[in-house]
Structure 1
Amino acid sequence: MDGRESLSPLNPVPPFAVALFLVILGVEVMFTLGARGLAGGPDAVGWRSAAIQDYGFNSAIMAWMIENRAWPVEHLRRFVSYAFVHGSFTHALFAGALLLAMGKFLSAVFRHWAVLALFLISTVAGAVVYGLVIEGQPWLIGAFPGVYGLIGGFTYVMWLRLGQLGTNQARAFTLIGVLMGLQLVFGLFFGGNGTWVADVAGFAAGFLASFVLSPGGFAKLRARIRHD
């Protein structure tokens, strides 16, 4: 860690996190106004469905690209664009709020560009694993895989600190355990479609990427590899 490690609540939210939040919220406001007939005319009712078709991700798309060994830009962009399309205003607001909270925490430890990289890496990793594991065509949408990647970064920071204090480092995984437990409960009561796979993949990608993206992380990793 370096001098950026200050967890004061006065640490500002990084500009990129604010920008992502505003994009997510802006897209959702557009969908909501269109669905209520307040913008866009009669065709606006279908904006959300059209956006899911055009920017969402599913395993059928992944299978087609692998089978045909073709990687058109219109499909490659889906590995990131799905994060900006949500199923409802509540879905978008909750994801955006977590994005701001995790972005603010991590920006006190990581460089801002590294936090953004964590989000993007986890977003892509979530789509890749989802596309390889989940069968059928349930759409993957929403920023949660990327947000779970930031939670992976948070877990990495807690894991290091608990190690420095000589306490049980497994406690660092409490937050992700609680979140996945809640997902399991909601899935049992309201049904699930396997998107939790993308969330877990995003978390794992964020946690592992933190070993390299944290301040001095690459040098520490290289030194450990050489030592081993």
Structure 2
Amino acid sequence: MLVLLVLACVIPEAILSISSGYFRGWIYQNFAFWPGLLQGWSGNYPGQWALMFVSYAFLHGGVLHLSFNMLTLVSLGRPLVDALGQLRFLVLYLLSALGGAGVYALLAHDPVPMVGASGALFGLAGALVGEQISLARKNGGAAAAWKALIPPSLFLIGINVVMYVTLSGQLAWQTHLGGFLSGLAVMAALQHQQHGS
């Protein structure tokens, strides 16, 4: 599953990197996440407003953006595939991408397109944190669960602040937040399902 997700991101960027800037613009116009499509803009085709909630996560803003995200995908994804299995991992990944887009839609105000897998990747981070919270709760109760949540959350906030400053504000932090919260929620639901069955 990790290989398929990596290929699903690498192949489009490879094609865009060797094609004209016009083609990248056309792909972004049709498959990036555009908040305006939820605020009265006309789409380029029926259902664009719905498809963009997933399609944005398979596009990137260049080779560096793609490389960083794919390294993160592999490093965070391996332990989760082992813990959840292929199908549940895919569900986690896609729901995190959807959650990232949903929070971006609610909080972003700029009419610029948003692309990248980072909403789903922050969902994977949220799932790993959720797994640690569950283990801490079993072994040490509610106080231990809070201790498992706070340090990694502060670390991720710090990463976002550094990236926001470094990238001069060109960061979809809203997507990161939505992905992280979605990953936490999906992992909690999957663990509940596993313990309930």
Common fold by TM > 0.5: yes
Give distance in 2, aligned partners of 1:194 and 1:217.
Answer: 36
Q: How much does 1:55 deviate?
A: 0.4
Question: Is the counterpart of residue 175 in structure 1 residue 149 in structure 2?
Answer: no
Q: How much does 1:129 deviate?
A: 1.6
Residue in structure 1 matched with residue 173 of structure 2 by the alignment: 196
CA contact (8 A) 1:110 1:215 kept: no
Alignment partner of 1:214: what SS?
A: helix
CA contact (8 A) 1:211 1:218 kept: no
Q: How much does 1:46 deviate?
A: 2.2
Residue in structure 1 matched with residue 193 of structure 2 by the alignment: 216
Residue in structure 1 matched with residue 38 of structure 2 by the alignment: 62
Give distance in 1, aligned partners of 2:53 and 2:36.
Answer: 13
Question: Is the counterpart of residue 85 in structure 1 residue 40 in structure 2?
Answer: no
Structure with the bigger percentage of helix: 2
Residue in structure 2 matched with residue 18 of structure 1 by the alignment: 3
Aligned length, in residue pairs: 192
Give distance in 2, aligned partners of 1:129 and 1:29.
Answer: 29
The residue correspondences of 1:18-37 to structure 2 (distance < 5 A) are 18-34=3-19
TM-score by length of 2: 0.87
Q: How much does 1:201 deviate?
A: 0.7
Q: What amino acid does structure 2 have at the position aligned with 1:192?
A: G
The residue correspondences of 1:139-150 to structure 2 (distance < 5 A) are 139-150=113-124
Q: Deviations over 1:162-183 (max 9, x none)?
A: 2233273334333343232122
Give distance in 1, aligned partners of 2:109 and 2:60.
Answer: 21
Q: Which moved more, 1:182-191 or 1:194-203?
A: 182-191
Alignment partner of 1:82: what SS?
A: helix
1:87–1:135: structure 2 CA closer, same or farther, 3 Å change rule?
same
Return 5+ residue gaps in structure 1 as ranges.
1-15, 35-43, 221-228
CA contact (8 A) 1:111 1:215 kept: no
Of 132, 135, 139, which aligns to 1:158?
A: 132
Aligned Cα root-mean-square deviation (Å)? 2.3
Identity %: 24
Q: Deviations over 1:135-172 (max 9, x none)?
A: 13121110000111111110111111222332733343
Return 5+ residue gaps in structure 2 as ranges.
none
Q: Which one has a bigger Cα radius of gyration? A: 1
